[in-house]
Every structure is written in C-alpha cells, then in structure tokens.
Amino acid sequence: MLPIRFVLVDTSHPGNIGAVARAMKNMGLHDLWLVNPREFPHPEATARASGADDVLASARVVASLPEAIADCGLVLGTTARTREQHFRVLEARAAGERMVAEAHKGPVAVLFGTERFGLSNEHLLTAHALLRIPANPAYESLNIAMAAQLIAYEIRMAQHQSGSLVPERESPLATSQQMEQFYVHLSQVMEESGFRDRTQNGTHLMGRIRRMFNRAELDGNEVNILRGILTSVQKKRRRAGDEP
C-alpha cells in the first residue's frame, strides 16, 4: 500500500471526518491524519464513515500541521482558486499521478483546510504545489468529502495506469521536517549577516523564500548541501569576528 496521507486541518464538523474516511476506503487509502479537529472521536463521524471504522480507528490526531507532515516528501494543498500567485497549481489528475510516483520514494500528503475558509496562507507555505479540482466555473463549491472522493479516485486511477508509475527522480524529496530545519538555519544566517527583510511591510521575505524552495523541490542531499554552505558562512563570520 502506497504511503499517501490525507490531512484534514481544523475540521469543524465530525461528520465530514467520517465521510472522508469512507471516501478514502472506497479507493483503497487508509492513512488519515487530523490536525486539531473540533470534535473527534464522535458518533456522527462513525455514522458517516459507513463501515470505514478501521480508517477512523487508525486516524492520527495531532495539534499542528508540522507534526502531521514531518516525514513527508511531496506535500500538496487543496484549493478552489483557479490561480494562486507564486504557487504551482496542479489539476487533480496530474496531482494523482504525481503523488503515486513520489509515494514510491516516501510518504506524501494532501492537505484539506477548514470547511468555510480552506487552507490558510501559513498552511499553503508548507506545500510544494496546490491541487485544484477543475469544476464548473459557474459553481465550483465542493464540500470536503466530495473533494476527498475525487482526489482519492484520481490516485487510484494513477495506480492502475500501466501498473505502478516509476518516479523519475533519483533521490526522494526532502521531508517537511528537513525543510523546516533548513528554513530555521537560513533565518539564523540571515540574522547573523545583517540581511534584512526589505519587502513593503517587512514580513513577506521568508514566505517568498519558502515558495521559491518549494517550487525547486529539493531532495535531502540538496538540503544538506545548502545547510553545509550556511554552516561554512557561519564559521567564516565567527573566525573573522575573533580577529583583532
């Protein structure tokens, strides 16, 4: 079974959790993670699962999104928007194929936001790309269970295309945890070197940097190279600071 994870963030209605579990089991998926759900476990979740009780029973509940995706390589965030500045957007079919390919190398995740507002900007910054379902432009509203069912279907169809898709990359993507450690390290070096955020309100630079590296889709070795460069810069600055 491929390690493809559905992550529900701040879900308000327990019935939606059960409906997503049912959608997943229909298509042979079982890895469900819940980030700060309002109510879970709950009888309505069990009722809406309609027999997918095993998916609910094995669901992992965590307090934050970084916990849910720490070991994941590819991360996709669902969106209803037709276009999102600075982000790559994949339609559901291409996203299903990509997830299946990357899952041969390690866990991947697809994120679903709140029922009313979807994923926040902060959540989107953890994603390599956004996933969009090309619905009727005049009425694109899909509830979370519908979206989960369509995405799970595309994943299943991708698995059945000429057997298993073979990933093209030689090394797996860096995990979300590795990327977060890199961003912390980069922030430290920027601070130590006096590099300041000069965007209009002084808070956008790190977001732009995250989107840039997410688009680059670094593997673990590449992250280690970059962190090695950062460490070398730090050592050079410290030696220079010790000189009279």
CA distance 78 to 76: 7
Helix, strand, coil percentages for the chain (3-state, nearest 5): 45, 15, 40
Residues 105, 52, 79, CA angle at the centre, nearest 5°?
55
pLDDT score recorded for residue 244:
40
> Domain 176-242 belongs to what architecture?
Orthogonal Bundle (1.10)
- Residue 40 contacts residue 17 (beta carbons within 8 Å): yes
User: Each residue of 79-108: pLDDT tens digit?
Assistant: 986 555 678 999 999 999 999 999 999 999
The 10s digit of each residue's pLDDT in 217-232 is 999 999 999 999 999 9
H helices present in the chain, as ranges: 14-26, 43-49, 53-57, 65-69, 92-103, 121-124, 144-159, 176-193, 205-216, 220-242
**For 4-159, CATH number?**
3.40.1280.10
Residues 6+ apart with CB under 8 A from 216: none
Q: Which residue has the higher pLDDT, 179 or 82?
A: 179
Which DSSP category does 175 fall into? P
Q: What is the reported pTM?
A: 0.89
Domain spans in the chain, listed from the N-terminal domain onward: 4-159, 176-242
pLDDT of residue 48: 98
Express as a percent the part of the chain with pLDDT over 90. 82
Band (202; pLDDT cuts 50, 70, 90) = low
